[in-house]
Amino acid sequence: MSDYVFSVIIPAHNEEKYIAKCIDAIKRASEKVGADNVQIIVSANRCTDNTVEIASAMGAEICENTVIMYQRGKKRRRKARQGRYYRNH
């Protein structure tokens, strides 16, 4: 485990309209509670738009999820997290 306190996992499929607002809201909320070291992971599920590029530019980690089956993708996201606590968003 690293020094992250929280890991927030955001499953996404073609969310370029909303991903920036989502990541920004997570960052603002974590600042309000004084959690400076929050890990944001975007689980990109076969995105064909600019979701991955936008999330990367905002500092989120990308977990490319090309697996169609939900349970396998969920397991992959859990392995990517490094915080003591996490919220699967």
Separation of alpha carbons 20 and 49, rounded Å: 13
Residue 52, token pair as written in the block: 């991955």
pLDDT averaged over every residue in the chain:
80
Q: What confidence score (pLDDT) does residue 71 get?
A: 53
What pLDDT digit, counting tens, does each position of 31-66 carry? 888 877 889 999 888 899 999 999 999 999 998 865
Spell out the alpha helix ranges (H) of 1-89.
19-32, 51-57, 70-80
Residue 15 phi, psi dihedral angles, 5° rounding? -110, 30
Q: If you average pLDDT over residues 1-14, what whole number do you get?
A: 80
CA 47 – CA 40 distance, rounded (Å) = 18
Using pLDDT thresholds of 50, 70 and 90, give the confidence band for residue 2: low
Please answer whether residues 39 and 62 qualify as being in contact, where contact means their C-beta atoms are separated by less than 8 angstroms.
no
Name the band, by pLDDT with cuts 50, 70 and 90, for residue 1. very low
